[in-house]
Amino acid sequence: MFEFSLLLSPFLFILPLLFFFFSFIRTKSPSSPSASALKCYPIIGSSLEILANLNRRIQWTSDLIRASPSATVVIHRFLGTRVVLTGNPSNVQHILKTHFHNYHKGQTFAINLSDFLGGGIFNADGDNWKFQRQVSSHEFNTKSLRKFIETVVDAELSDRLIPILSMAAANNSVLDFQDILQRFAFDNICKIAFGYDPAYLLPSLPQAKFAVAFEDAARISSERFSSIRPTVWRLKRLMGVGSEKRLKLAVGEVREFAKNIIREKKEELKHKSSLDSTDLLSRFLSSGHSDEDFVTDIVISFILAGRDTTSAALTWFFWLLFKNPDVEDQILNEINEKSELPVFDEVKDMIYTHASLCESMRFYPPVPADSKEAVSDDVLPDGTVVRKGMRVTYHPYAMGRLEELWGSDWPEFRPERPDQNLPGKGDGVSADEEGGRRSPATIPGGASGGGRWRAGLHRRLNCQNERWFSDPLVGQKVFILFTMREELTACRRVGADFFKSEHVGTHDQGHHQVEMVTYLLNQEQWS
């Protein structure tokens, strides 16, 4: 036994050295055109740089992609784990279209969000995803639901949002505009999904229990992705401590609330051949989808998507308008030309406003990056080798900043860029020219059907004859969606004295002069 131990001891010493050596060779030998220029060490890979840039990871990874000739990089993580980041349009099309079957959300994504989203459409793969998408598409493509959405949004604008802004202007008070837009979107999506009004956008700006629980559940679930190792949050969940304890309580409140509404509607359906309501939940139940967990998962998923994508897109959109008054002038001219039409009829023909929304989401897509897991070995169109189980992240935020796609003027906010029929096109290039300049609508995570909400909202706000301006330093926070790090505070001031110290610009509209000011508490500027 002693002799065996002596024979074994050299192997116990040599094996770690061999592992160390081959890890070093693996990290130092680029095997594809997307090999990263990051400092990479044996065992830990580029973990030091990852940790150093954790608070600005969207901008950092965007910089890496932009610096790569192929717009793709491979990052080495702890213990040899590798991830692919790409902004290459050919790669993105490969992942999301031509080889979609090979790129799933994967177990990591599903496990991190399972407590909150369950098996909902945004946390599903394969046949489950196809089934939910088919069911959802059928329900969303009905004219009656679209009309219901228009009615809900118009009421929320007329009865809540506009009065709150008007009151703030009259009282010279300060509002967190991002918070207002989140409340606006949350009320809308809850009415559309559940037929339930959380009344989150009342003048008192209440802390609605369901809304707070939903926010906590979304935030803590997203923070799991930032954990150094999954074992950290799993251990906290096992012990029922810290953020995982709060997550359990928040998810419990959200799901119990949702299930209570489902039970009430089921009971109502027992006594009627169909429900009078036209919300999404009623439609699912009326069409025979009565499994409580299935319906709960899918409705919660739609609330998550509808709340944050809309409010995030609106926040960045209005901020960019404040920074580009010439664009706002053209939008106002377009609005005035069509002001006699009903709101949701006129926005269909508001080409410049739609282009402005697309350009806004080129800069700040609500979903700045999304990740998939390779089901089997693959090679991306640019030659990047992808092994089974590797995470591949496509990066809309970086794509919107690639000079190869947008030209040297990519930092400029130019709604004329995507549509050659727009006035002032100048040297702008359409999607079909010069081999691939892209409209923002073609970038994943960017423009979508939500443009009606946003264009309609902008029209209604400007009908108040007030203009808003901003000269902010803006941060960002990334949960599942892309929002500003700090609040976007807005105030109205009348009179020239206000503009002496921090003059941005004033415009007279009747007797109103309005300015919007933004504060970033940590004063971190970025682009």
CATH of the domain at 483: 1.10.630.10
Look-up: residue for tokens 């131990």? 5
Question: Which residue pairs, CB below 8 angstroms and at least 24 apart, start in 195-201?
Answer: 195/261, 195/265, 195/277, 195/279, 195/281, 195/282, 196/261, 201/156, 201/160, 201/161, 201/164
Classify residue 361: in a domain, yes or no: yes
Q: Are residues 279 and 352 in the same domain?
A: yes
Contacts of 29 (CB under 8 A, 6+ apart): none
3-state SS class at 251: helix
Does a structural domain hold residue 147? yes
10 Å CB burial of residue 243 (0-12, 13-18, 19+) is: middle
User: Cα separation of 429 and 419, whole Å?
Assistant: 8
* Beta-carbon-side half-sphere exposure of residue 340 (alpha carbons within 13 Å): 1
Q: Are residues 187 and 336 located together in one domain of the fold?
A: yes
Helices (H), 324-363: 325-337, 343-346, 351-363
Is 217 within the bounds of a domain? Answer: yes
Q: Are 61 and 206 found together in one domain?
A: no
| Cα–Cα nearest to 246, from 353, 388, 111, 116 | 116
Angle at 244 between CA 238 and CA 246, to 5 degrees: 135
Q: Which pTM value belongs to this model?
A: 0.76
320-324-325-331 Cα dihedral, nearest 10 degrees: -70
pLDDT of residue 245: 96
Q: Could you tell me the two tokens for 355?
A: 């282009």
Considering the domain architecture, whether residues 182 and 99 belong to the same structural domain is answered as: no
The domain tally of the chain equals 2
pLDDT at position 512 is 30
Res. 500: pLDDT tops 50:
no
Instruction: Give pLDDT, residue 426.
Output: 42
Distance between CA 184 and CA 186 in Å, rounded? 6
Higher per-residue pLDDT: 358 or 347: 358
Position 298 scores a pLDDT of 84
Rounded to an integer, the average pLDDT of 3-17 is: 45
Question: Which residue in this structure is represented by tokens 């404040």?
Answer: 322
Average of per-residue pLDDT across 294-305: 86
pLDDT at 247 over 60: yes
Q: Check pLDDT > 90 for residue 95.
A: yes
CA dist 491 and 189 (Å) reads 27
Token pair listed for 7: 């024979």
Same domain, 354 and 479: yes
User: Which token pair is 353?
Assistant: 């406003």
Closest CA to 509 of 498, 494, 488: 494
What percentage of the chain exceeds 70 in pLDDT?
69
The dihedrals phi and psi of 159, each to the nearest 5 degrees, come to: -90, -20
Distance between CA 485 and CA 182 in Å, rounded? 14
- 512 lies in a domain? no
Identify whether 278 is part of a domain. Answer: yes
Burial of 129: CB neighbours in 10 Å, binned 0-12, 13-18, 19+? middle
Is the C-alpha dihedral spanning 285, 288, 293, 296 positive or negative? Answer: negative
Selection from 503, 458, 493, 516 nearest residue 171 by Cα: 493
Query: Is 360 a member of any domain?
Result: yes
Residue 81 in any domain: the answer is yes
Looking at the fold, whether 135 and 98 belong to one and the same domain comes out as: no
Residue 121's pLDDT is 85
pLDDT-based confidence at 510, cuts 50/70/90? Answer: very low
149 and 47 within one domain: no
The answer to the question of residue 450 being in a domain is yes
CB distance 510 to 363 below 8 Å: no
Long-range contacts of 111-116 (CB under 8 A, 24+ apart): 111/230, 112/221, 112/224, 112/225, 112/230, 113/221, 113/224, 115/221, 115/247, 115/248, 115/251, 116/217, 116/218, 116/221, 116/247, 116/251, 116/254, 116/300
Q: Which residue would you say has higher pLDDT here, 376 or 38?
A: 376
What does the longest C-alpha to C-alpha distance in the chain come to? 97
Same domain, yes or no: 284 and 347:
yes
Q: Range of 359's domain?
A: 130-368+445-499
- Indicate the range of 102-116, 253-267, 273-287 predicted with least confidence: 273-287
Hey, is 423 helix, strand or coil?
A: coil
Residue 100 and residue 59 share a domain:
yes
Q: Are residues 208 and 160 in the same domain?
A: yes
pLDDT for position 77: 82
CA gap 94, 115 in Å, rounded: 31
Do both 12 and 63 map to the same domain?
Answer: yes
pLDDT computed for residue 30 by the predictor: 43
Task: Of 195-209, 306-320, 360-374, 447-461, give the lowest mean pLDDT range.
Answer: 447-461
Burial tier of 245 (Cβ tally within 10 Å: 0-12, 13-18, 19+):
middle
Which parts of 165-234 are beta strand (E)?
174-176
Same domain, 144 and 272: yes
- Provide the residue type at 213 as one letter: A
Q: Look at residue 26 in the predicted model and tell me its pLDDT.
A: 46
At 34 the pLDDT is 56
Note the pLDDT of residue 394: 96
